[in-house]
Amino acid sequence: MPNPLTEEPLDRYLNRPLARAVTWALLPTPVSANQVTLVAALCGVAGGVAFALATPTLRLVGFLLVGAALVLDCVDGQLARARGGGSPYGYLLDGASDYVISLSLHVGLIIGIWLMPALSFEWRIEAVVGILLSGLMMALHSNVFEAIKFRYRATLGEDPGQHVKRQEEILASLAADRGIPARIGQAGLTAYHRGQMRLNERAAEGKPVPKSAFLLSTLLGPTLRLTVLACAGFAAAFHPRAVMIYPLFALVVGNIVYLVLRRRP
């Protein structure tokens, strides 16, 4: 199991403890880790649909579905490790699921805001642009969080590149498979692996990262971003303009944290 010291606090203190309970419940069953990953993705898609339909009840359902997706995103890995390790396709499926969940929630929130009759056209444009920019910033900020996490692992004396080695093993396995899914997975993972290798090299060469800097960087992590998005989507059921909680956090708080971390050596 990944060292919880290098995880986002929401995962460390909430999602993973809940995931452990679900994992132990699933161990005696025939449910596979890949099936859990698919259910997590479906929860994310359903959450996006709930935010798009935008009734108060469905916004609550959307909020709960986001929470379920984040917990199940931890369950699949725990279940795979408890059964002796996951498969190459399970690793790829897990990565694809994260993108599906994030994309579905952003699109659903945008549709829900656009269809709100209580908001003026100009305000809806501003909200949609804010959510789109927040999604783009999520990708950038998540990379910054990953880079600092690598360096913090090296500071703790760990090997920050354990999952990089795992990616190399998966790529070797996919290279032996001539099927179309393997080729597609290999192409996608190769690009991601190159970026992770660069982060690993910089972590080995960079200066130590204090715990305070790592904790600050967790404000840029994807779990917190999606949780704030879900809270904003739910709050909009009571006040439509509350949806701006998400862009304000992503674009103001997120970029302030980003600039502070950039100024550190």
- Per-residue confidence of the chain (265 residues) as pLDDT tens digits? 445 567 899 999 999 999 999 999 999 999 999 999 999 999 999 999 999 998 889 999 999 999 999 999 999 989 988 988 767 777 778 888 999 999 999 999 999 999 887 778 899 999 999 999 999 999 889 988 988 888 888 888 877 667 677 777 777 777 777 677 667 777 776 776 677 677 666 666 667 889 999 999 999 999 999 999 999 999 998 888 899 999 999 999 999 999 998 886 5
pLDDT at 111: 95
Residues 6+ apart with CB under 8 A from 243: 109, 112, 113, 127, 131, 232, 233, 235, 236
Q: pLDDT at position 2, please?
A: 47
What's the pTM?
0.88
pLDDT value at position 246?
A: 97
Terminal CA-CA length for the chain: 30
Domain carrying residue 224: 4-263
Alpha carbon 130 to its chain centroid, in Å, reads 19
239 in the Ramachandran plot: left (φ > 0), alpha (ψ -120 to 50) or beta? beta
Domain CATH code at residue 109: 1.20.120.1760
Q: What's residue 206's pLDDT?
A: 66
Looking at residue 95, what is its pLDDT?
Answer: 83
Burial 61-83 (b: 16+ CB within 10 A, else e): bbbebbbbbbbbbbbbbbbbeee
Q: Which pLDDT value is given to residue 110?
A: 95
pLDDT at position 93:
81
Q: For 241, how many CA atoms within 13 A lie in the half-sphere containing its CB?
A: 6
Q: What pLDDT, on a 0 to 100 scale, did the predictor assign at position 29?
A: 94
Q: How many residues does the chain have?
A: 265
Q: Residue 26's pLDDT is what? A: 96
What pLDDT is stored for residue 69 in this prediction?
A: 97
Give how many domains the chain has, as a whole number.
1
